[in-house]
Amino acid sequence: MNSEALSALIAKNPSLKAAKAKLEAMEPGAYCIHRSWGFGQIKSYDEAAQRLIIDFKGKKGHAMDPAFCLTTMEILPPKHLLVRKETEPKKIAELIAENPAQLVAEALEAYPNHATSAIDLEITLAQVVGEEKFKKWWSVAKKAVAKDPRISTPEKKTELYVLRETPVSAEDEILEQFNSTRSARRRIALAEELVNTVGKKEIKTDLVAILKAVADAVKDSNQLDASERLYGASVRDDLAKLAGSEEVFEPSQATLIANVRDLPAIAEKIPVHFQGQFLDLVKETHPIESRDIVFTLLKTSQGKFTTECINFLVENGHSEELAAALKRWQTEQNLRAPVLLWIVKNRHSKKFAKLLNDLITPRLLGAVFFAIDYEALQASSARRIPLADILSEDTDLIADLLSTADPETARDLANTLMLNQGFEELTKKSLLARFIKIFPKIQSLVAADAEGKEEQLLVSKASFERKREEYETIVSKKIPENSKAIATAREHGDLKENSEYKMAKQDQQVLMAQKTNLEKDLGRARVSDFKEASSEQVSAGTVVEIKGENGAITRYTILGAWDGDPDQNIISYKTALGSALLGKKSGESVKVKTGSSEENYTVVSIARVADKS
């Protein structure tokens, strides 16, 4: 905006004089970022209309009042990354691909005081790198940035990234952070970082004070749970080796895992990279019991710890016992989702061929379906179920598991799939297609499902609400309660003799069947106020008087598929009498079969329910 245009604008609106410098920056060619429209470039200024003409992404030639832009738009300096992405695309692309730390350093140079919040920096970088690539790129780039001595990285997103005037070594930065925090967890994490950073390099720091602080945290801090205390003891001992200390610290790692009953809770929370070391420590501390302990840990393991437990057992010569245990757990329906996931992922592994050969059967597919259903019922939100994902993504998995199945077994498993809560309907159809490819006769399941959806049910609003409440009760109350009962009964062991477990499983089958039927019924229902009914012929929504063979006249109100009140002579159009009367006109006769007898009725009169209310 030139001086003449600016003077004219201020003359029209004197209050803008205080913002003269900001208005002067709104010149053609300048890049900007608007609160609503995002990144753009000022192309020109329309003096007659006193409007800036700005090209935004997806909105070219947009006219805006400069006064309005003062509070909603920021003019970006030439060094800003978003500007440089336009003016130096090749250089920025090179930094993104090869030197992310330098990219961040140059980004910080464009900010006042060479600092900005983590939130602001990540928003800018996401626009520069591209939203679809940013998350993966940043997870790697952040590590490079953290190691750069020029950049101070924050602990929280609300804190600042700062480009230092004088570079600080990684070791000095860790020590600075260590000395400025009183958090036991943070000190342990920083001590581990120091061990990894210093390693075998020449140690510049006196580690005695650091070692004492970590040892005190492990011994006395009430901030730590059992797994954090054990991990802290491991870091403490690594730090002692690095410092050349021969002091014996308490509590020792062995002391912290001395009670076998504490191990499952500890194992659940230990860091992933410590899991293998943890199992070795268990073996060292409990040499006689270690095999049985690891079997117990495997049973409830999750994620990478499942793999660590299995590798430990195999490497320590327990492959045969592991194969027997997996087979037994499968028979008892006691294979949990993480172990099942490991089995199906490793089914083609040469290393585990003997171990898994007897498990790749239709029974395993049943166990997979049960585990997916159980996880879906336990989930409080729409979280991912990894076992369901791999079943969908691994196109050979169903074929592998059905390789020894007979048609009847395959049909039962297909039925189980259709009742499963862990898949969306489209996914079920996709998986069912894999069944049909191997067993074409299962196609009848799809046909039967389609037939069930063709016929609509005409229902009253009141009966629909009752049916919907019944469905909600089953889904939100009865099924979760049943899942808990199954889980509780399962813990009692030996499922063959476990009557509580069998009863809970039977209840589950009933509940799942009820849920499926209600879903189908509610899906086919069309709620009506019956105002479309005619008095010309009998239909849902009519009041009809009929005369029996004995001359007695009875009045019936015919309503929706789920309505019925014998005391008020309200019947559903789906009953034997209701369906026989449908379409009949006054004076016409109808024969109704009830049990083994038949009776003739004549329609005397027809009226609309809507006219009676």
What was the pLDDT predicted at 18? 87
Predicted confidence (pLDDT) at residue 450 exceeds the cutoff of 70: no
φ/ψ of residue 83, rounded to 5: -70, -45
Sign of CA dihedral 346, 347, 352, 355: positive
Distance CA(318)–CA(289), nearest Å, equals 13
CB atoms within 10 A of CB 242: 19
Interval 355-407: pLDDT, tens? 888 899 998 998 898 888 877 766 544 567 899 999 999 999 999 999 998 88
The label of the residue with tokens 């860091």 reads 271
Predicted confidence (pLDDT) at residue 452 exceeds the cutoff of 50: no
Which pLDDT band holds residue 453 (cuts at 50, 70, 90)?
very low
Which pLDDT band holds residue 487 (cuts at 50, 70, 90)?
confident
DSSP 499-516: HHHHHHHHHHHHHHHHHH
Predicted confidence (pLDDT) at residue 535 exceeds the cutoff of 70: yes
Distance CA(542)–CA(535), nearest Å, equals 7
Domain segments of the chain: what residues? 3-75, 81-168, 177-323, 368-525, 542-612
What was the pLDDT predicted at 53? 95
What was the pLDDT predicted at 242? 84
CATH topology of domain 542-612: Chitinase A; domain 3 (3.10.50)
Question: For 565, which DSSP code?
Answer: B
Distance CA(172)–CA(587), nearest Å, equals 102
Predicted confidence (pLDDT) at residue 103 exceeds the cutoff of 70: yes
Asked if residues 100 and 81 have their Cβ atoms less than 8 Å apart, the reply is no
Q: What is the CA angle 591-595-599, rounded to 5?
A: 25
CB atoms within 10 A of CB 578: 22
What was the pLDDT predicted at 494? 54
Interval 301-310: pLDDT, tens? 988 999 999 9
Distance CA(410)–CA(273), nearest Å, equals 41
Predicted confidence (pLDDT) at residue 204 exceeds the cutoff of 60: no
Q: Which residues contact 608 (CB under 8 A, 6 or more apart)?
A: 530, 531, 533, 534, 535, 541, 542, 543
Q: Single out the residue of 474, 496, 574, 173 nearest to residue 334, CA to CA.
A: 496
Region of residue 527 (left: phi > 0; alpha: psi -120 to 50; beta: else): beta
Q: Picking from 96-110, 374-388, 440-454, 510-524, which range would have the lowest pLDDT averaged per residue?
A: 440-454
User: To the nearest whole number, what is the mean pLDDT of the chain?
Assistant: 86
Q: Within the chain, what is the greatest distance between any pair of CA atoms?
A: 112
Mean pLDDT on 538-560 = 91
CB atoms within 10 A of CB 405: 19
Of 1.10.357, 1.20.1260, 1.10.3470, 2.30.30, the CATH number of 3-75 is: 2.30.30
Sign of CA dihedral 572, 577, 582, 584: negative
Predicted confidence (pLDDT) at residue 55 exceeds the cutoff of 80: yes
β 59-64/51-56 pair status: antiparallel
Asked if residues 468 and 519 have their Cβ atoms less than 8 Å apart, the reply is no
What was the pLDDT predicted at 215? 92
Structure tokens belonging to residue 345: 């992922």
What was the pLDDT predicted at 425? 80
Which pLDDT band holds residue 80 (cuts at 50, 70, 90)?
very high
Mean pLDDT on 581-593 = 88
Asked if residues 126 and 103 have their Cβ atoms less than 8 Å apart, the reply is no
Counting runs of H as helices and runs of E as strands, what totals does the chain give? 31, 15
Which residue type occupies 600? N
Mean pLDDT on 276-281 = 95
Interval 225-278: pLDDT, tens? 999 999 999 999 998 888 888 888 999 999 999 999 999 999 999 999 999 999
Predicted confidence (pLDDT) at residue 500 exceeds the cutoff of 70: yes
